[in-house]
Amino acid sequence: MSRPSFSVASGPPGSTRRPARLRARLLSVLAALGLALGALVGLPGAAQAAGSLPCDLYGDAGTPCVAAHSTVRALFSSYNGPLYRVTRVLDGAATDIGLLAPGGYADAGRQDTFCGGTSCRITRIYDQTSRHNDLNPGPAGTAGMGADRGADASELAVTAGGHKVYGIFTSPGVGYRSTGAASGVAVNGQPEGVYMVASGTHVGSACCFDYGNAESTPADTGNGHMDAVSIATTCYFAPCTGSGPWVEADLENGMFQGDNGSNTANRGNNSTYVTAVLKNNGQTRYALKGGNSQSGGLTTWWDGGLPTRGGYKPMHQEGGIILGTGGDNSNWNMGTFFEGAMVAGYPSDAVENAVQANIVSVGYSGQTNVPNGPQGTITGPGGKCVDVAADDTGVNGAAVQLWDCQSYAEDQHWTHNPDGSLSTISRCLDVVGNSSANDAKLELYDCNGVGGQKWVQQADGSLRNPQSGRCLDAPGGATGNGTRLQIHDCDGSAAQKFALG
């Protein structure tokens, strides 16, 4: 979707996939349901079962995955390739994070070793099908924002299958996109389905936290040119029931919950983990479903006609893929992504129920609403936190200031790197112009190793910049929200007490 007017058929690499007999499909579905039942009643059992993962289930039902993305686990039982790539902020070195075993869970330990003591970004999310529909940070679009940045790789650790794994913690400015039209993805009114596991607690109302089909270039090309699932508190077509978040369909120029937008039957999904499902036959009909990814089944919020507003019957999809943004790269919203897939054809209710059962069997656990990585807060005068202006967007030159501490604010969580720098949202605490002058202001800037980015904690609680010999300082001891920080002669005053959390 574009910025709203209101305020804010393939298998894994190396495999050949053929339509299965009905008996095989039923066995796969029953196996997945059995796994979910075991999880629900607390019975021990394997976290994954051969042939029972989401893309196996979709493929056996005749609606094969054409794109499959996750930083958590394999979505094919035979997949044994990389899930995602991490890149260190300080030196640009990169490595791919794969699986502990074929068809299994992410090797988070490899990421921890590679990124230990410093910041990493997720710079690629690999497609697990043989189509190579990989996602990279998206380019600037017609929404007016700059190019996207990759998410902080260590910002949100959760548990899946009994293993530590990382989700993609999306905040304004973070987003991913395929290059051009992706292979096999629906275009020009073809049928398709999409699901994702996301957070129902780390959500917002701005545009747009989407996963699915979008324009092949980052521009709004009109109604019906998108077909992406979203979870947000965006009530685009009033009235809405409650305060959300709601599973919605971003069909471009509208977040739809029902026929022409509004659907008061949609009561929302606010569980810690949410399964969000969208399917669209491309001509006349679409359906929306939501469920708790930790227990139970799916609730159908809408199963009926496509909007009668112009441009949606038939659809005009372009086959691009987005994650965390709108079609024109509107990237003001927030969310958390764990796994998702796009399929060719119109999936049956039975296979979607089986996929939900498999998701429940994973045993997702852990908070999803606040960063929980190695970063810590920097608390300064008045108990306020060191914060970056402009709400987590983190562009070069953004002012560094004091602000009320907010546990969910990504730009208040800082990493103290081995070279002495302090970084958040993939950039460093920096003295403007690398100045050593008294009262030089502080900003956020690309980490580049200069002296104006080095900080040493002193015994008296101050943070000293060795290059200038001066200390981090709140001018005149001010403690109000928005107080722009600076460096000043170290004097031991309360204005220079900053505690690393």
User: Would you give per-residue pLDDT tens digits along the chain (501 residues)?
Assistant: 754 433 333 333 333 333 333 333 434 443 444 433 333 333 333 345 446 999 999 999 999 999 999 999 999 999 999 999 999 988 899 999 999 999 999 999 999 999 987 889 999 999 999 999 999 999 999 998 889 999 999 999 999 999 999 999 998 889 999 999 999 999 999 999 999 999 999 999 999 999 999 999 999 999 999 999 999 999 999 999 999 999 999 999 999 999 999 999 999 999 999 999 999 999 999 999 999 999 999 999 999 999 999 999 999 999 999 999 999 999 999 999 999 999 999 999 999 999 999 999 999 999 998 888 777 889 999 999 999 998 767 789 999 999 999 887 888 989 888 788 998 888 899 999 999 999 999 999 999 999 999 999 988 999 999 999 999 999 999 999 999 999 999 999 999 999 887
Q: Residue 301: its pLDDT value, please?
A: 98
d(CA 287, CA 306): 9
HEC sequence for 245-269: CEEEEECCCCEECCCCCCCCCCCCC
CB contact set of 297 (below 8 Å; sequence gap of 6+): 291, 353, 356, 357
Closest residue by Cα to residue 81 from 116, 107, 63, 58: 107
Q: In angstroms, what CA-CA distances link 134 with 84, 90, 126, 129?
A: 9, 24, 5, 10
Show the tokens assigned to 272: 């810690």
User: Are 101 and 33 a contacting pair, CB within 8 Å?
Assistant: no
Closest residue by Cα to residue 133 from 61, 198, 213: 213
Domains and CATH numbers, the chain: 22-362 (2.60.120.200), 378-500 (2.80.10.50)
Rg of the chain over Cα atoms, rounded to whole angstroms, equals: 23
Q: In angstroms, what CA-CA distances link 45 with 25, 39, 162?
A: 22, 8, 11
Show the tokens assigned to 332: 């003001």
Locus of tokens 């395929």: 178
Closest residue by Cα to residue 225 from 144, 276, 280, 277: 280
d(CA 178, CA 185): 11
Show the tokens assigned to 342: 């796009």
H-helix or E-strand containing 277? strand 273-280
* Whether residue 19 has a cis bond before it, omega within 30° of 0: no
State the virtual CA torsion across 45, 47, 48, 49 in degrees, nearest 10.
Answer: 10
Q: Residue 371: its pLDDT value, please?
A: 84
SS3 at position 432 = helix
Cα dihedral sign for 349, 351, 354, 356?
negative
H-helix or E-strand containing 33? helix 22-40
Task: Report the DSSP beta bridge partners of residue 137.
Answer: 176
Q: Within 13 Å and on the Cβ side, how many CA atoms surround 30? A: 6
The residue count for the chain? 501
Show the tokens assigned to 212: 């699915």
CB-CB neighbours of 22 under 10 Å: 10
Q: Within 13 Å and on the Cβ side, how many CA atoms surround 383? A: 1
SS3 at position 369 = coil
d(CA 341, CA 184): 13
SS3 at position 230 = strand
Task: Report the DSSP beta bridge partners of residue 280.
Answer: 192, 286
Q: Within 13 Å and on the Cβ side, how many CA atoms surround 420? A: 16
User: Are 82 and 73 a contacting pair, CB within 8 Å?
Assistant: no
The string of DSSP letters for 164-207 reads: EEE-EEE-TTB-EE-SSSPTT---TT--EEEEEEEESSS--SSS
User: Which amino acid is residue 184, in one-letter code?
Assistant: G
pLDDT digits (tens, 9 = 90+) for 137-194: 999 999 988 899 999 999 999 999 999 999 999 988 899 999 999 999 999 999 999 9
Q: Residue 204: its pLDDT value, please?
A: 94
Task: Report the DSSP beta bridge partners of residue 135.
Answer: 125
Where in the sequence numbering do the catalytic residues fall? 252, 328
User: Are 381 and 476 a contacting pair, CB within 8 Å?
Assistant: no
Q: Residue 51: its pLDDT value, please?
A: 64
pTM: 0.81
User: Are 322 and 177 a contacting pair, CB within 8 Å?
Assistant: yes
